[in-house]
A = this chain, B = another copy of it.
Amino acid sequence: MAAAVKTPVCVLGLGLIGGSVLRAAAAAGRVAFGYNRSADGMNAAVADGFDATTELETALARAAETGALIVIAVPVPALPMLLGPIRRLAPECPLTDVTSVKSAVLDEITAAGLADRFVGGHPMAGTAHSGWPAGHAELFVGAPWVISVDDHVDPTVFATVLDLIVDCGSVAVPARSEEHDAAAAAISHLPHLLAEALAVTAADVPLAFALAAGSFRDGTRVAGTAPDLVRAMCEANSPQLLPTLDRAMELLADARKSLASENSVADLVNTGHAARTRYDNFPRNEIITVVIGEDDWRRELAAAGRAGGVIRSALPVRDSR
């Protein structure tokens, strides 16, 4: 795979994330072109000097001709309508996505018969603003970008997707889809629900807003996110969010009981502080020894990702499988 010319990139959906992928791929010297359903987003991209169309069939035909990596960057509800055309018009192209929920997307992809050439992805980058104008080529620099290592993942497609992630300046975190979704429930979706509950609780207390300062501001910051975005994330991941929410509610109920009966919140406060300290000291090691395509490579990558491992540059690839 020591090709001098990088794989072209075809981005479907030119919002914040897709638009930033298009820019980053172009900045890395790739041929990069995009499709956007609305003319507004397409025109904005073209006005900024990028190659974009509102014709899905045109974009996919060009992807097929050039052997491009197709990046699906539309919201989850819009995903299904892309899959038929992709299968029909670009049957050989490697395929990835940038969606915040991974199992639900993989199910759709599998049902459409596209799993063979699909390796899911999720860049952990900002969601506060949206649309082409909000994006930029450096959006992903230094950010974790999850890359799927589910059982079906093909080594060559994996290497192709990894190459794009590295080109975008991200650190790739290998993970299985269901593990990604469980983690996202704990570190993203639960914090949103807690922030909403905190904001609502304080709003009912007469003097609260008058005195609110640092801990309230921090604790409710993500409650400022547009409700539709929060709902979309949480509701698409309910199978993982429900047990996570149950766990948090159980911890609070235990603390409530101990506060009422013994006037103590020692258990929750001590374990919480220890957990946060562990997070502050969480290691970030670079994964360099795994060879893509060797026996057990997917499992090794999943284990390394769990332990804090990240991929910062291309890994070796076994000749074929």
Contacts and interface: CB of A to CB of B under 8 A. Distances in A.
Interface of A: 124, 126, 143-144, 146, 173, 175, 179-180, 182-188, 190-216, 218-227, 230-231, 234-235, 238, 241-242, 244-249, 251-253, 255-256, 259-260, 263-266, 268-273, 275-280, 282, 305-309
A264 B161 CA distance: 33
**How many copies of the chain does the oligomer comprise?**
2
Given A234-B259, A252-B193, A211 B272 contact: no
Contacts of A215: 187-188, 191-192, 195, 221-222
Contact of A196 (B179, B197, B210, B273): B273
Among A245, A266, A269, the most chain B Cβ lie within 10 Å of the Cβ of A269
Nearest to A310: B210
Contacts of A173: 207, 210-211
A184 to B, nearest CB: 7
A242 B263 CA distance: 10
Contacts of A270: 227
A303 to B, nearest CB: 9
A192 to B, nearest CB: 7
A150 to B, nearest CB: 14
Majority SS at the chain A contact face: helix
Contacts of A235: 259, 263-265
A207 to B, nearest CB: 4
B200 A272 contact: yes
A187 B87 CA distance: 53
Contacts of A252: 193-194, 197, 245, 248-249, 252
Contacts of A199: 272-273, 275-276, 279
A75 to B, nearest CB: 16
Contact of A218 (B185, B190, B218, B276): B218
A251 B200 CA distance: 8
A258 to B, nearest CB: 10
Nearest to A213: B124
